[in-house]
Amino acid sequence: MSEPVLTVEGLRKHFVTTTGVPRRRSVTVRAVEDISFTIGEGEAFGLVGESGCGKSTAARALLRLVEPDAGTVRWRGQDVLAARGAQLKALRRRMQIVFQDPFSSLDPRQTIGAALAEPMRVHSLATGAEARRRAAALLEEVGLPPAALDRYPHEFSGGQRQRIGIARALTVEPELIVADEPVSALDVSVQAQVLLLLQALRRRRGLAFLFVSHDLSVIRWFCDRVAVMYLGRIVEEGPAARVLTQPMHPYARMLRDASPVPDPAQRGVLPRIAGEIPSAANPPPGCPFHPRCPQAMAHCAGSLPRWTALSGGQGGVACHLHG
C-alpha cells in the first residue's frame, strides 16, 4: 500500500441521550469504540456492517461533522482533531463528503449553479462567471447538462441529485471523498450508473475514498480494502478480495453468506444473520458478537478479543478463534 493520506487511531464517539417513560434517564450510546485504519493515496477503503454498527458516525467523526471523544485523525501527518480556523478549513477542502440523500444538503431555494458556486467562494477558489464556468464543467463531468445550473433541486430525480451532490463535493478539488451510503437510496439500475461514475472519477482524478455501505456487493466492486464493523468496533480488516471471499471473523462470514449474489435465481433463499444487533447503549460484555455467534466459546462472554494482525498484508481480525 502507498503512504497513508489518512490515518485514524483509536477513534471513539459516544452520544448521551435520554430515554424512558414516565421516568426519563440518560443512556450512553457507544456508537464508535476505538477504531483504527489508514487510507492510502488513491485507495478505496470500505467500511461495512449492518445498520447501526457505527460506520456512518465514524465517517462523520473523522471529518469532525460530529466531534469525536477520543482518538487521533491525521491527514498527511497533520492533526485533524487539533486543527482550528484556517487550518481546519484547508483540511476540510481536502476531504469532502457525499451523503446518502443529497437533497437534505441542498437548499431547495437555491439553484444548482448557486449551490455549486458557494463552496468555491467559501474556499476562495472562484466567484462570478468563473465559478459558473467551473460549475458547468463539473456538471458535464458528472453527466448533467449545463442547463441544470439554473434549475432547482426538486426538478431532478434521485440519481441526478446524487450526481449534483458528487459535483458539489468536487467543487473544492478534494483528494478524499467520504461516500456515506451514496447509492443505497437509489433504484438498482441507477445505483450501477452512479457507481460507474464514482469509479471513473476515482481513476481520472486519483481520488481516495472512504466508502461506507451496508452492501457487500457494492463494497466488493468498488473497494481495495475493507473493514467490517460490529457494534462500533472493527472486527476484521484487510484486502477486499480476501475479507469478502474468505473472511475469518464469524460475523464477517455471516455477512458474506447473507449478501445478495449477482444470480437473481439465488436471491431470496439466502440465510439471514440470526438475531438482532444489540443496542449500542447496552453492548454485551466480552466479545460484542457473542450472543449471535455460532462459534462462541465459554470465555467469549467474558473477555474482549484482542486485535490479531495477519501476515503478508492480509490485515487483521479480532476474535478468540484467531487470537
Is 114 one of the binding residues for ligand SF4 (CB under 6 A)? no
Collect all residues with Cβ–Cβ distance below 8 Å to 254 and sequence separation of at least 6. 271, 273, 274, 292, 294
Is 287 one of the binding residues for ligand SF4 (CB under 6 A)? yes
Segment contacting ligand SF4 (CB under 6 A): 42-50, 108-116, 159-167, 283-291?
Answer: 283-291
Is 60 one of the binding residues for ligand SF4 (CB under 6 A)? no
Cβ closest to ligand SF4, residue 267 vs residue 306:
306
Is 233 one of the binding residues for ligand SF4 (CB under 6 A)? no
CB-CB contact of 235 with 229 (8 Å): yes
Is 295 one of the binding residues for ligand SF4 (CB under 6 A)? yes
Cβ closest to ligand SF4, residue 99 vs residue 289:
289
Min dist CB 238 to ligand SF4, Å, is 16
Sign of CA dihedral 203, 209, 215, 221: positive
Is 321 one of the binding residues for ligand SF4 (CB under 6 A)? yes
Size of the site for ligand SF4 (CB under 6 A): 14
Is 230 one of the binding residues for ligand SF4 (CB under 6 A)? no
Min dist CB 304 to ligand SF4, Å, is 9
Distance CA 115, CA 23 (A): 45
Cβ closest to ligand SF4, residue 203 vs residue 299:
299
**Type and span of the H or E element at 119:** helix 112-122
CB-CB contact of 207 with 174 (8 Å): yes
Min dist CB 208 to ligand SF4, Å, is 30
Of the candidates 156, 223, 289, 315, which one interacts with ligand SF4 according to CB under 6 A? 289
Sign of CA dihedral 164, 165, 168, 174: negative
Nearest to 254 by CA among 270, 231, 242, 267: 270
Cβ closest to ligand SF4, residue 52 vs residue 250:
250
Segment contacting ligand SF4 (CB under 6 A): 126-134, 192-200, 238-246, 294-302?
Answer: 294-302
Which amino acid makes up residue 104? S
CB-CB contact of 48 with 227 (8 Å): yes
Alpha helices in 171-309 (DSSP H): 188-205, 216-222, 240-243, 250-258
Is 293 one of the binding residues for ligand SF4 (CB under 6 A)? yes
* CA distance to 12, 88, 161, 228, per residue, from 94 (Å): 22, 10, 22, 25
User: 3-state SS of the chain: helix, strand, coil percent to 5?
Assistant: 35, 25, 40
Of the candidates 135, 166, 231, 300, which one interacts with ligand SF4 according to CB under 6 A? 300
How is the beta sheet containing 4-19 ordered, strand by strand?
25-40, 4-19, 70-75, 78-79
* Strand, coil or helix: 142: coil
Segment contacting ligand SF4 (CB under 6 A): 44-52, 105-113, 164-172, 282-290?
Answer: 282-290
Cβ closest to ligand SF4, residue 112 vs residue 319:
319
Cα 256 from chain centroid (whole Å):
18
Is 310 one of the binding residues for ligand SF4 (CB under 6 A)? no
Is 232 one of the binding residues for ligand SF4 (CB under 6 A)? no
* Strand, coil or helix: 124: coil
Of the candidates 266, 297, 302, 309, which one interacts with ligand SF4 according to CB under 6 A? 297
Of the candidates 46, 52, 71, 250, which one interacts with ligand SF4 according to CB under 6 A? 250
Is 320 one of the binding residues for ligand SF4 (CB under 6 A)? yes
Binding site for ligand SF4 (CB under 6 A): 249-250, 287, 289-290, 293, 295-297, 300, 305, 319-321
